[in-house]
């Protein structure tokens, strides 16, 4: 999972604080970005609650014994607080990841550009951010609808759904911050899209007229219950012989998600991504089972 652009644009050497650890312990580098994305110093009292939240996240991750057991690597944690740009809450991006010997520098450091190599052990924590919940951009987007494939549930971890095989999403309500897209919504989007394509092709393209006729004929056969059902990522009027179940379900961000706008520096959504690849795959599987998820829920005020 990639860090936000506002963080990658800043030299990686900024604000490196080396941690004093016993000689036998893992080398772990702390790299707090010195400014928020809207250019406030992290020491500014106006972002003190978010900074404290970041420090609590870091303490949970760094305190995990399985993370500390990673072999032949150096771990660096980087984090930055987002800007206040009219959204419901400030966000936080945090990553702890491995660095192989190729990029080591000094007694406990890494070279500039070390993060260009793919991570083989990584924990990413995003608070109050929805941009990466769906592992990609919207499947469909216009002025009336932004729809993604519903994150697949791949088992459970510590009693919580595991999405994609590596993501855990927490909210105060216990419900994910997305909701189904109905067939009625998706068909309305499809009609708008066909109209856009027709207009861009000169306004009298027989192909797009045929598509519109097929869409309306398909819609006329649906009952109110079918129109209200959850839509799938397919155009069934174009593929009448394909079972609907072959297409993934569609969701959108829940417009009624209960953001507390009076507490814009409080954790309201937490997305954890825990991933590993050889030689750290087995260790990161243990991390997934041992990471203190109750402590993360505590950041939401649930415990």
Q: Which residues pair with 105 in a beta bridge?
A: 109
What letter does residue 25 receive in the DSSP assignment? S
Strand-strand pairing, 92-99 and 167-171: unpaired
Interatomic CA distance for residues 93 and 40, integer angstroms:
16
Interatomic CA distance for residues 116 and 118, integer angstroms:
6
The pLDDT tens digits along the chain (303 residues) read: 445 443 443 333 333 333 443 333 589 999 999 999 999 999 999 999 999 999 999 999 999 999 999 999 999 999 999 987 667 899 999 999 999 999 999 999 999 999 999 999 999 999 999 888 998 899 999 999 999 999 999 999 999 999 999 999 999 889 999 999 999 999 999 999 999 999 998 888 899 999 999 999 999 999 999 999 999 998 888 888 888 899 999 999 999 999 998 999 999 999 999 999 999 999 999 999 999 999 999 999 754
What does R_g of the chain's alpha carbons equal in angstroms?
Answer: 23
Chain centre distance of CA 174? 17
Q: Are 267 and 297 in contact (CB under 8 A)?
A: no
Interatomic CA distance for residues 100 and 223, integer angstroms:
58
**Dihedrals phi, psi of 170, to nearest 5 degrees:** -125, 140
What letter does residue 230 receive in the DSSP assignment? B
| Greatest distance between any 2 Cα atoms in the chain | 75
Tokens 């991006």 belong to 93
Q: Which residues pair with 104 in a beta bridge?
A: 110
Chain centre distance of CA 86? 20
Interatomic CA distance for residues 59 and 30, integer angstroms:
11
């Amino acid at each position: 999972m990639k860090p936000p652009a506002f963080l990658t644009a800043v030299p990686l050497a900024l604000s490196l604080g080396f941690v004093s650890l016993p000689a036998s312990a893992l080398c772990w580098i702390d790299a707090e970005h010195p400014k928020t994305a809207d250019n406030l110093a992290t020491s500014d009292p106006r972002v003190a609650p978010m900074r404290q939240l970041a420090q609590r996240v870091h303490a949970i991750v760094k305190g995990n014994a399985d993370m500390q057991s990673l072999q032949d690597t150096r771990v660096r944690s980087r984090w930055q607080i987002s800007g206040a740009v009219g959204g419901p809450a400030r966000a936080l991006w945090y990553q702890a990841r491995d660095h192989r010997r190729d990029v080591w520098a000094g007694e406990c450091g890494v070279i500039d550009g070390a993060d260009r190599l793919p991570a083989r052990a990584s924990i990413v924590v995003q608070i109050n951010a929805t941009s990466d919940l769906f592992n990609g951009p919207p499947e469909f987007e216009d002025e009336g609808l932004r729809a993604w494939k519903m994150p697949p549930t791949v088992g459970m971890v510590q009693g919580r759904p595991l999405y994609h095989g590596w993501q855990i999403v927490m909210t105060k309500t216990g419900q994910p911050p997305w909701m189904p897209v109905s067939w009625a919504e998706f068909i309305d989007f499809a009609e708008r899209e066909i109209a856009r394509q027709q207009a861009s092709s000169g306004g009298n393209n027989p192909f797009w007229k045929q598509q519109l006729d097929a869409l309306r004929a398909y819609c006329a056969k649906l009952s109110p219950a079918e129109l209200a059902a959850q839509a799938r990522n397919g155009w069934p009027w174009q593929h009448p012989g394909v079972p609907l179940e072959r297409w993934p379900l569609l969701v959108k961000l829940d417009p009624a998600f209960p953001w507390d706008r009076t507490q814009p520096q409080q954790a309201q959504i937490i997305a954890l991504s825990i991933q590993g690849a050889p030689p750290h795959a087995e260790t990161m599987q243990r991390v997934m089972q041992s990471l203190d998820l109750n402590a993360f829920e505590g950041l939401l005020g649930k415990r």
